[in-house]
Amino acid sequence: MFELIHLDRDARIGRLSTAHGAVDTPAFLPVATKATVKTLTPEEILETGAQAIISNAFHLYLSPGIEVIREAGGLHKFMTWWGAIFTDSGGFQMIRKDFRFSIREDGISYKNPRDGKKYLYTPEECIKAQDALASDVALVLDDCPPYGSYNKAKASMENTVSWARRSKIAHRKKDQLLFAILQGGTFSDLRKKCSEELVAMGFDGYAIGGLSIGEPKEIMNQILRYSLPLLPLDKPRWLMGVGSPVEVLEAIGQGIDFFDSAFPTRNARHQTGMTKNGDLDLGRQKYARDFRPIEDGCGCYSCRNYSRAYIYHLFKESELLAMRLLSIHNLHFMQELMRKVRKAIQEDNFIEYKRDFTKGYLGSGI
């Protein structure tokens, strides 16, 4: 379960105990949607300092299929990752891709692009899938609305509450924690109603969904500031889908414990290296004879062994190793950021750390 260790104003450090070890918070989870973090082995992920990863139950439900993973002995054995695994229910990713779907009161009706047939993905089916995956933390199926419409946000919030109740009834795996997801769009009354209903059900943790999907950042932060006091202080809070370092620090300052995002690895595949002094576009000619590491002083595998010039060369020649090396660095960068944040909170120095990091990250001309 969750232990709240120290508060520095609203910023918190804590520890979530799971069946596969404790996760110190604030924590950043690399995204392993289909049981893999793109281009990396589990050993490489572990070396970055990652304590946990997140996979997508719905994608694994489609392929290779839940029964295959069950026969393998669960997701940990299937992918040979022995840290904690969180599994997202999959509704958000499904509706963001090229799926033909419709939202019904009983679940999500969709057309499987693999076989062209129609299926119904219910809260109960979602829980059943995550039970077979044997993840450490499961998320209930939620209805994530598009940004904008009050009526759509209200309907999705009502579905989310109903589906959460059904998920909790269906959940049977005793060593698996179950987190609910808050919805309600950018409307404070809907967020309040959703929070009250879900908190009353008594989940192990609460994720804040439906943000960072197109709304202005100031509105996202406004809804976040409004929503967090509605949640129990002694339960973990998760802001879903946010991975930009500055946005992560802003959310930590408001009391968020968990983050997941493909931001670091996606940046790496697009030639961008993350450093404390800002982002580097390693596809630029200026790095062709730059024999420094990606970031001076970084202890990651890539920075210990390779130069900017070498990675520039790999990108220029479309070599896959470029994406691997930069992914290793970017994930290491995020884990080091979390480690330094935890230290700053413990020393009651988070505000100063956030200010100095943000100034360096945004103020650089590199």
Strand 237-240 to strand 258-261: parallel, antiparallel, or no bridges (unpaired)? parallel
Contacts of 76 (CB under 8 A, 6+ apart): 20, 82, 85, 134
Q: Yes or no: say if 354 and 348 are a contact pair by the CB < 8 Å rule.
A: no
Q: Yes or no: say if 12 and 257 are a contact pair by the CB < 8 Å rule.
A: yes
Residue 260 annotated as catalytic: yes
Any idea what DSSP says for residue 145?
P
**What is the number of alpha carbons within 13 Å of residue 141 lying toward its C-beta?**
31
Residue 276 to residue 270: CA distance in whole angstroms = 18
Cα Rg for the chain, rounded, in angstroms?
A: 20
Q: Which of 8, 88, 131, 257 is catalytic?
A: 88
Q: Which of 8, 142, 257, 260 is catalytic?
A: 260
Q: Is the dihedral of CA 30, 34, 36, 39 positive or negative?
A: negative
Residue 348 to residue 338: CA distance in whole angstroms = 15
Residue 299 to residue 60: CA distance in whole angstroms = 34
Phi and psi angles of residue 347, each rounded to the nearest 5 degrees, phi first: -95, 10
Contacts of 159 (CB under 8 A, 6+ apart): 103, 105, 142, 143
Catalytic residues: 88, 260
